[in-house]
């Protein structure tokens, strides 16, 4: 019986949870006013996993880390929208503490995406003969 001491363990036990990080985000990690981020992060991780349907456990962990980094970045940007990126200190200015760390979280997210193979890839370039042999309407799109 969940929630009863002695029958299921202490309250908030995450030992047997299939996705313990989801429960952690919902129960403990976020303030009530920041719960808006949960559906956004669920959509983000679902999108990444749909790009890699046969993801290994390590790739799933990288998706989870990228999701956490994305969430932290979004919370930093939301706080900066409320209070600003710049703070006044002793007659000069400095970046807000969260804004100073924004680049680090974005770098972690980018590294995770590269690790699971979702980095940018250049388009294959045609040979000059193949380009000249193709019909003219395939060379470029007309502006609308």
pLDDT in tens, 47-69: 988 888 888 888 889 999 999 99
What does the DSSP assignment read for 45-102?
A: HHHHHHH-TT--HHHHHHHHHHHHHHHHHHHHHHHHHHH-SEEEETTEEEE-HHHHHH
Which sequence spans correspond to the domains of the chain? 39-119
> How far is Cα 59 from Cα 63, in angstroms, rounded to an integer?
6
Contacts of residue 40, defined as CB under 8 A and 6 or more positions apart, other chains included, come to: 74
At residue 134, the pLDDT reads 84
User: Terminal CA-to-CA distance of the chain, rounded, Å?
Assistant: 63
At residue 69, the pLDDT reads 93
Query: Residue-wise pLDDT tens for the chain (144 aa)?
Result: 555 655 556 666 666 666 666 666 666 677 888 888 889 999 999 998 888 888 888 888 999 999 999 999 999 899 888 888 888 888 888 888 878 888 899 999 999 998 888 766 677 888 888 888 888 775 555 555
Number of H helices, E strands in the chain: 5, 2
> How far is Cα 104 from Cα 139, in angstroms, rounded to an integer?
40
DSSP 123: P
At residue 25, the pLDDT reads 66
């Amino acid at each position: 019986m969940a929630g009863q001491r002695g029958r299921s363990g202490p309250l908030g036990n995450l030992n047997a949870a299939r996705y313990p990080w989801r429960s952690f985000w919902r129960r403990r990690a976020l303030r009530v006013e920041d719960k808006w981020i949960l559906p956004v992060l669920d959509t983000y991780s679902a999108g990444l996993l749909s790009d890699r349907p046969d993801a290994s456990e390590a790739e799933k962990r990288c998706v989870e880390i990228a999701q956490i980094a994305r969430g932290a970045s979004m919370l930093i940007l939301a706080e900066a929208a409320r209070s600003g990126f710049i703070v006044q200190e002793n007659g000069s200015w400095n970046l807000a503490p969260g804004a100073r760390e924004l680049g680090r979280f974005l770098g972690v997210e980018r590294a995770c995406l590269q690790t699971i193979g979702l980095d940018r890839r250049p388009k294959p370039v045609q040979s000059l003969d193949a380009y000249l042999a193709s019909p003219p309407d395939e060379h470029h799109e007309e502006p609308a």
